[in-house]
Structure 1
Amino acid sequence: MTVHQSPGPQDHSGFWLDLPEHRAWLAADAKRQFTFFEKSLRHDAGFATLDHRGAALADKTQELHTTTRLVHSFALGQIWGQPDADKIVDRGMAYLNSCHRDPVHGGFLWALQGDNIADDRKQAYGHMFVLLAASTAKIAGHPDADALLTDVTRVLDQHFWEDDAGLYSDEMNRDWTPFSSYRGMNANMHGVEAHLSAFEATGNQVYLDRAGRILDFFTKKIAPQNDWRLPEHYTVTWKVDRNYAGNPMFRPAGTTPGHSFELGRLLLQYWDLCGRPSGDAPTRARQLIERALQDAWRPDGGFAYTLKFGGDIDIASRYWWPVTEAIGAVAVLIQLDRNQADEIWYRRLWSFANTHFIDHERGGWFPEIDESGDVTSTIFAGKPDIYHSLQACLFPLAGELSRIAIKLKDQSIIRS
């Protein structure tokens, strides 16, 4: 097995987050990721999906979440001082406005292929990433960000927001007629992410309030009723649908522990933005995160992708993104409360990622490993995106629970 530079000294008695050498290691990996994904720029409009070496795949399908995640990630890079990050942001913002935007019915189309529409559905999930991209682009100073923010906020409000429930519906046809009665946790979780970023970018209280209502439903009602696990799928009246089993990657049955890491971190971000009021938000966040760590970490390392409702492993496959999200979640726990047990997890996660997922030669992270711990490709073609793995580096570097993009402006180490 190839030996790579360790993310930090295992014999250090304190916390890696405090060590200049660990922070420099995080910065170096983030820079390699930017260098790799700069190759996403196509000669024509939009972006290419890259294989493991960084060459463009033949399939030119452009999905909305891919475009927006690149904009968000490279806007973070622009704020951070990454050279030429603005080129990706400019291309992505233009592509959102000229290609993904539906000139007939409004909103944003899910997938394009060249000049043709490959999938004309309108998904809350994709629109949440438009909101996230516009928010980060605004913090980065992009001139088109305000207009995009206004547009996508209006679309979300008019077509997806269900005020009685305090949650967002999931999917529509192109003309805004219902596509299905499906309701899901994933779109709402990313809704919290996008709304908190929009609040940080604009100060508009509506964004913060809606994020709070979503968090209340999942972390005050659903998680406690399910032993701090988060069912993924719901009926039209927001009852847990325990029989639903959709696409095994994007809508798997049961629970997805990686989403518990994300929602736990987002709950702490929300709590921090609210001024850290008294209450049990930190406890709820910790319960979500710790339950997922305990349930899903495999004896041979890495997280099982999905669990049954009682916590037994369902899909045992190991992907990169739950590890990245666990890193971000545990990092904010350490920032909140210097707990040695959290540090053990933080080192375990980074050490596993360093050995199995990070491409030290070319940059970026491999998305999947097999039962032997070797890189494989059964689900994902190439390296799907920079979003998860970049944030695993930048969240610890920012050193805060909220306003990450704004805090990155002060992190001069990553520009050195």
Structure 2
Amino acid sequence: MTHRVSDQSFSDAPPDDAWLDAECRRLLDFGRRIAHPLGGAAWLDDDGAPDLSRPVHTWITSRTVHVYGLGSLLGVEGCAPVATAALDGLRTTVRDGEHGGWFGAIGADGEPEGTGKSCYDHAFVMLAASTATVAGLPGADDLLADATAVFERHFWDEDLGRVVDEWDRGWTEPTPYRGLNSTMHSVEAMLAVGDATGDPGWHRRAGRLAGLVVDLAAAHDGRLPEHFGPDWSVDLQLNRDRPDDPFKPYGATVGHGLEWSRLLLHVEATLGADAPAGLLDTSRLLFDRAVADGWHADGAPGFVYTTDWDGTPVVRQRMHWVAAEGIAAAAALHRRTGEDAYARRYAAWWAYAAEHLLDLERGSWHHELDPANRPRASVWPGKPDLYHAVQATLLPRLPLAPGLASAVNLSQGWSAPA
């Protein structure tokens, strides 16, 4: 079934819940062909067809389980089989059956493309398994037990209260790099694992990571360093020679400031009185800095991708995920504070998305625009997955805690299909 949304702007008022629901279902329609013949999920092209010239990525496969698990919880017909097929890929195709854990990607020949084991990938496997467990998908419980055991054994540093970024295939030695991107998605996954298992220890771990971000934001005026040495010494110059790296760009990443702004509020709502001090103030700081540095920063609407440490734009392409995270962060701050300024930002950014990002002809959202807001594919060719856009349609309709899967499952009128 094809779901359509009206071709409209939201300059006067934000979209209502009915529009958000229709857009969520339109996005889910787009990705229904995502199953890869090797198992797991494929990278999607601009029309939603699998791009089989690209490998099976663990992060895309995990996000597919998460997104279509949410669709199953919403009762959207056909989502459970998509989620289950992707979950089976996590159990087989991209899993390292010899040493445990998950490869980053599997090529067309069925062999791993690189053998490192990354925290980023493993955090997404935990998120996928948590959502699948809440959705009651077959094999989800075993996957969650496996994923959390691997994460605890190799990626969580209990003494520091921080995460290790990457290991070699056999888990003999970690790389020296430490990163805030893997930290961020670990927080997201830990909140989801705590919700799915009822183990508050995972929530407390998320709180410890959130405390790190409170300190970093205060020390760097809201521009979060992304890259660190093995002792967590800040490296502000990493990848200056390739600033548009899709996972480790140089400088401050505007979208991550927005994403952290929202995640800190989820941690606060989850932990309550046990939350680290300063989460709301830091959420505001990160949000305000991202808006001041990133939004309409070069004379055109949209968020730039990255800035230098003085706020000067570096990579000026507009990434769809940054706008999606801005929408979600504004909604979260409005829910937390009730302040109209956040509601105005929320409406303005949906208006931008409706005008520039939503592709109502070919489906999904354009993943990358140039500085003049024309479709471009220098960093993100095609429309690889649906994670950020789908979440932007759901987070504004849900409380700050519990996390997405549990909140959808518990919300009145939303239940898993029989």
- Stretch deviating more after TM superposition (170-179 or 275-284): 275-284
Partner residue in 2 for 1:121: 116
Q: 1:53 aligns with which of 23, 43, 47?
A: 47
Partner residue in 2 for 1:234: 228
CA contact (8 A) 2:293 2:312 kept: yes
Q: RMSD across aligned C-alpha pairs, in angstroms?
A: 2.1
Gaps of 5+ in 2: none
SS state at 2:77 partner? coil
What is the CA-CA distance between 1:87 and the residue it aligns to?
A: 0.8
CA contact (8 A) 2:207 2:271 kept: no
Partner residue in 2 for 1:308: 308
Tell me the alpha carbon deviations over residues 340-395 of structure 1, each in whole angstroms, 9 at most, x when there is no partner: 11121111110111111111133211111123221121222210110011000011
Q: 2:78 aligns with which of 84, 96, 99?
A: 84
Tell me the alpha carbon deviations over residues 271-314 of structure 1, each in whole angstroms, 9 at most, x when there is no partner: 11113568532222111112111111123111111111222212
| Superposition pairs of residues 184-203 of structure 1, within 5 angstroms | 184-203=179-198
**Structure 1 residue 157 corresponds to structure 2 residue 155:** no
The 1:42/1:241 distance shift into structure 2, 3 A limit, reads closer
**Structure 1 residue 372 corresponds to structure 2 residue 372:** yes
Q: How far apart are the structure 1 equivalents of 2:192 and 2:37?
A: 31
Q: How far apart are the structure 2 equivalents of 1:401 and 1:335?
A: 11
Partner residue in 1 for 2:381: 381
CA contact (8 A) 1:328 1:395 kept: yes
CA contact (8 A) 2:156 2:164 kept: yes
**Structure 1 residue 101 corresponds to structure 2 residue 103:** no
Q: How far apart are the structure 2 equivalents of 1:131 and 1:413?
A: 23
- Stretch deviating more after TM superposition (266-275 or 383-392): 266-275
Q: 1:290 aligns with which of 288, 291, 296?
A: 288
| Superposition pairs of residues 112-261 of structure 1, within 5 angstroms | 112-114=106-108, 115-178=110-173, 180-219=175-214, 221-245=215-239, 248-261=245-258
CA contact (8 A) 1:6 1:354 kept: yes
What is the CA-CA distance between 1:4 and the residue it aligns to?
A: 6.1
CA contact (8 A) 2:165 2:182 kept: yes
CA contact (8 A) 1:228 1:291 kept: yes
Tell me the alpha carbon deviations over residues 322-350 of structure 1, each in whole angstroms, 9 at most, x when there is no partner: 10011111101111122111121111110
SS state at 2:314 partner? coil
Partner residue in 1 for 2:265: 268
- Stretch deviating more after TM superposition (331-340 or 271-280): 271-280
Q: 1:6 aligns with which of 8, 16, 19?
A: 8
CA contact (8 A) 1:264 1:285 kept: yes
What is the CA-CA distance between 1:241 and the residue it aligns to?
A: 0.9
Letter in 2 for 1:104: E
CA contact (8 A) 2:34 2:43 kept: yes
CA contact (8 A) 1:370 1:376 kept: yes
TM score, norm. by length of structure 1: 0.92
Q: How far apart are the structure 2 equivalents of 1:266 and 1:48?
A: 28
**Structure 1 residue 35 corresponds to structure 2 residue 32:** no
Q: How far apart are the structure 1 equivalents of 2:76 and 2:326?
A: 25
Q: How far apart are the structure 2 equivalents of 1:281 and 1:128?
A: 22
CA contact (8 A) 2:40 2:87 kept: no
What is the CA-CA distance between 1:261 and the residue it aligns to?
A: 1.1
SS state at 1:301 partner? coil
The 1:268/1:276 distance shift into structure 2, 3 A limit, reads farther
Q: How far apart are the structure 1 equivalents of 2:272 and 2:292?
A: 30
- Stretch deviating more after TM superposition (192-201 or 249-258): 249-258
SS state at 1:69 partner? helix
Q: How far apart are the structure 2 equivalents of 1:81 and 1:251?
A: 37
SS state at 1:228 partner? coil
CA contact (8 A) 2:261 2:286 kept: yes
CA contact (8 A) 1:182 1:235 kept: yes
What is the CA-CA distance between 1:172 and the residue it aligns to?
A: 1.1
**Structure 1 residue 362 corresponds to structure 2 residue 362:** yes
SS state at 1:75 partner? helix
Partner residue in 1 for 2:68: 74
**Structure 1 residue 397 corresponds to structure 2 residue 387:** no
CA contact (8 A) 1:323 1:353 kept: yes
Letter in 2 for 1:272: A
Q: How far apart are the structure 2 equivalents of 1:382 and 1:203?
A: 38
Q: How far apart are the structure 2 equivalents of 1:192 and 1:263?
A: 9
Letter in 2 for 1:223: A
- Stretch deviating more after TM superposition (300-309 or 395-404): 395-404
Q: How far apart are the structure 2 equivalents of 1:346 and 1:311?
A: 22
Partner residue in 2 for 1:346: 346
CA contact (8 A) 2:184 2:260 kept: yes
The 1:243/1:272 distance shift into structure 2, 3 A limit, reads same
Tell me the alpha carbon deviations over residues 108-130 of structure 1, each in whole angstroms, 9 at most, x when there is no partner: 11110232222221000000000
SS state at 2:306 partner? coil
The 1:413/1:199 distance shift into structure 2, 3 A limit, reads closer
Q: How far apart are the structure 2 equivalents of 1:244 and 1:95?
A: 34
Q: How far apart are the structure 2 equivalents of 1:290 and 1:217?
A: 19
What is the CA-CA distance between 1:44 and the residue it aligns to?
A: 5.0
Letter in 2 for 1:47: A
The 1:146/1:69 distance shift into structure 2, 3 A limit, reads same
Q: How far apart are the structure 2 equivalents of 1:317 and 1:377?
A: 10
